[in-house]
Amino acid sequence: MTYVKRERFFIGCGAVALGLAAASTFAQQAEEASADWGNLSQQCTGLPSYQALKSALTSAREASNGGFNLDMWGTVVNRDGVVCAIAFTGSNRGSQWPGSRVIAAQKANTANAFSLPALALSTANLYYAVSPGGTLYGLQHSNPVDTFVAYRGPAQNFGMPDDPMVGHRIGGVNVFGGGLGLYNSKHVLVGALGVSGDSSCADHNIAWRTRHGLALDFVPGGVSGDNSRPDNIVYDITPQAGQQLGVSTNG
């Protein structure tokens, strides 16, 4: 009996120790996350403000984009993956799919992480390559979202200028339409845009129009085979015998 009591005491102390360790880890995460802020205005130089993003996103959403004609989330990250702005198009944060807030940020992070100064890769470009048998299969499981950054802070600030995600690195990889690299008029890669809230094709179309509205679509090159739209989604891939990915008629 004495042994059992001691064992229970030991387990109880272990639980307390684990609780203290978790609290310490949480505090460390908070400190590290806050360190991402730095001087946000400097980190986001050359990227759209909250109001500019919201205006361009809303205008793009109101065009004919296919899909279900739903409201959208949009996120902009800088070249280091730090979130600079998050906005939505509906009347409040519940007018869009709540899950699309983080997905939009994932898409922005992905387009930034896998675009280069001379080679843009949209999230739509990755879709076939990450499918089973594709050359990049498994990519979507790398670089997970930082859930502390994704869900921190009061929800009433989601999609506002002071969204708790702003100023922090979100991480994440998303491999369907809606993420585009941002290139300024000097063809310099300055970050990326992510859009989510509708079908993946509609997300891509809205992201495309939003980027154009922000005048950050001076893309130097990509993989679509169309020099005028180098990181556009490719619609004309047809299956070929022995080739899982198929062949695009336009190359």
DSSP track, 73-134: EEEEEETTSBEEEEEESSSSGGGS-TTHHHHHHHHHHHHHHT-BTTB---HHHHTTTTSTTS
pLDDT surpassing 70 at residue 165 = yes
Other beta carbons within 10 Å of 168: 23
Q: Which of 163, 168, 180, 141 is nearest to 60 (CA)?
A: 180
Mean pLDDT (the chain) is 85
The whole-number pLDDT of residue 153 equals 94
pLDDT surpassing 90 at residue 175 = yes
Share of residues in the chain with pLDDT > 70 (%): 77
* The dihedral sign for the CA sequence 144, 94, 77, 150: negative
| pTM of the predicted protein model | 0.81
Q: Which of 1-15, 81-95, 160-174, 176-190 is predicted with the least confidence, judged by mean pLDDT?
A: 1-15
The whole-number pLDDT of residue 223 equals 85
Q: Give the pair of three-digit tokens for residue 33.
A: 């996350």
DSSP H or E run through 204: helix 200-213
- CA dist., res. 195 & res. 250, Å (int): 26
Q: Which of 22-36, 109-123, 179-193, 201-215 is predicted with the least confidence, judged by mean pLDDT?
A: 22-36
Query: pLDDT digits over 44-77, tens only?
Result: 999 999 999 999 999 999 999 999 999 999 999 9
- CA dist., res. 118 & res. 156, Å (int): 39
Query: pLDDT digits over 131-145, tens only?
Result: 888 888 889 899 999
Per-residue pLDDT, averaged over 113-126, amounts to 95
